[in-house]
Structure 1
Amino acid sequence: MLKIAALSKRFGDKTAVDRVDIAVDNPQMIGIIGRSGAGKSTLLRMVNRLTEPTEGSITFEGEEITALRGAAKRAWQARCAMIFQQFNLVPRMDVVSNVLHGTLNRRSTLATMFNLYPKEDIHRAIEILERLGIAEQAPKRAEALSGGQQQRVAIARALMQRPRLILADEPIASLDPMNAQIVMDSLRRIHEEDDLLVICNLHTLDTARRYCDRVIGMRDGRVVFDGIPEALTTAVAREIYGAGEDFSEAATSTAIETLDKPEIRAAEACV
């Protein structure tokens, strides 16, 4: 389904991604972990063609993505939806319009200028918002929503693209534990119900173990671990993060159970 072969990216003398090989045979939910600067974001941006690789190839369902140019490249970026840590919404625009921006790649310039959308697209946008549990927020400005709600709007916008692959770059890094859980539940449900390949860059081990079918660990631009979540032991995590014996997973946990009750109530109020 997806094959990444000897993929590298260099910025001057710095190698951000170093000859990465990854093969995915069927739709999975894959988590990529590693410390800051490990090359996780650069890898996803190359798959989406936001960043051009220095060498290597990316093939998806038999099509060589690295060879695409112009309209074909834009068509790929519609099929390969990207979700970012910063939600990239238009703050003063209503939620439905933000979701409908997922159709911009297939709309005319005139329709875009006058903000004209077919009824079927509007209905589909509302259906997706209902699916994500935020349909009642549809008429509100995006800036009025909590962080978790805004990220679900960003996910809805991605689904409007009718993608075959969803890439999520640290989708819960700026969220509290309650909202983080809701967002990850949403991504997992989309993977299962829509049979989509979902690849997430994550910064916490417990999240990767809980939600992902497969975990890839990166260090200094290279893949140093690729396996099932159960194989992601503390010893393996130390190797991925280049940490010593004092490494503690508890410091990276997003589990709601680790919070005190006042913190849980504060998180629930923001959902």
Structure 2
Amino acid sequence: MLKIENLTKAFGAVNAVDNVTIEVDRPMMIGVIGASGAGKSTLLRMLNRLETATSGTITVEGQEITGLKSADKRRWQRDCAMIFQQFNLVPRMDVVSNVLHGTLNQRSTLATMFNLYPTADIHRAIDILDRLGIAAHAAKRAEALSGGQQQRVAIARAVMQDPKIVLADEPIASLDPMNAQIVMDDLRRIHDEDGRMVIANLHTLDTARRYCDRVIGMRQGRVVFDGSPEQLTTGVARDIYGADASFSEAATSTSIDALEQKIPQRA
């Protein structure tokens, strides 16, 4: 379904992504982990064509997408939805209109200018919000919602595109543990119920193990681990992050149980 071959992205003399090869034969939920600067975000941005590869190829269902231009590139970006850490919503616009922005690549310039949407699309947007448990906020401005709610609106916008692949670039990095769990639950449901491939950049090992079918570890632009969650041992994690024996998973945990264990209980 997805084949990445010898993919490289150079910024000057530095290879942010360095000769990466990955093959995925079916829709899966994949976590990409690694330290900041490992190349995770650049990899996702090349998949979505927000960045252009320096060399190598990306092929999806037989279509080579690294060379797409103009209308073909926009069609691919409709099929490959992107969810960002900072949500990328229009703050003063209502929630349902933000979700409807997922159809922009399918609409005429005139309809976009006058904010005109078919009734069927409006109903579908509200149905998606309802599925994510936030339909009650449809008429509110996006800026009035909490961070977790805004990220779920961003997920709804991605689903509105009806994509083949959903990319999530550190979707829970700015969220508290409770909202992080809700957002990851939603991403997993999108995979399980819709059969979509989901690729998420993640910072925490417990999240990758709990939600992902496959985990890819990156270090200095290269893939240094590609395996199942069960194979992601603490020793492997040390290698991925370039850490010594003092490395502690608990320090980066997003689980509510782990958080409670780190907070001293009052008598």
Tell me which interval the TM-score lies in, with the shorter structure as reference length.
Answer: over 0.9
The alignment of Structure 1 onto Structure 2 pairs a total of residues equal to: 262
- Amino acid in the other structure paired with 1:40: K
Classify the secondary structure of the residue corresponding to 1:200: strand
CA distance in 2, matches of 1:173, 1:128: 23
Deviations 1:157-203 (A, max 9, x none): 00111100000000000000000000000000010000000000000
Query: 2:10 and 2:191 mapped to 1: Cα distance?
Result: 32
Identity of matched residues, %: 76
Q: Which residue is equivalent to 1:256? A: 256
Moved more, 118-127 or 251-260: 251-260
- Unaligned 5+ segments in structure 2 are none
Q: TM-score, normalised by structure 1?
A: 0.96
Match of 1:132 in 2: 132
Q: Tell me the distance in 2 between the aligned counterparts of 1:172 and 1:259.
A: 15
Structure 2 match to 1:234: 234
Give the 3-state SS of the residue equivalent to 2:71 in structure 1.
helix
Deviation at 1:109, TM superposition (A): 1.0
Q: 1:109, 1:225 → 2: CA distance?
A: 44
Q: Does 1:214 align with 2:214?
A: yes
Q: Structure 1 regions of 5+ residues with no counterpart?
A: 264-271
Cα distance in 2, alignment partners of residues 197 and 148 from structure 1: 22
Mapping of residues 135-214 of structure 1, within 5 Å: 135-214=135-214
Cα distance, 1:259 vs structure 2: 3.0
Question: After the TM superposition, which segments of 4 or more aligned residues of structure 1 sit over 2 Å from their partners?
Answer: 258-261
Give the letter for the 1:120 counterpart: A
Correspondence for 2:96 = 96
1:268 is aligned to none
Q: CA RMSD in A?
A: 0.9
Q: For residues 100 and 128 of structure 1, what CA distance do their matches in structure 2 show?
A: 11
Distance 1:258 1:49 in 2: 37
| 2:15 corresponds to | 15
- Residue 259 of structure 1 aligns with an amino acid whose one-letter code is L
Aligned to 2:68: 68
Give CA deviations for 1:121-177 in whole Å, capped at 9, x if unaligned: 000000000000000000000001010000000000001111000000000000000
**TM-score, structure 2 normalization:** 0.97
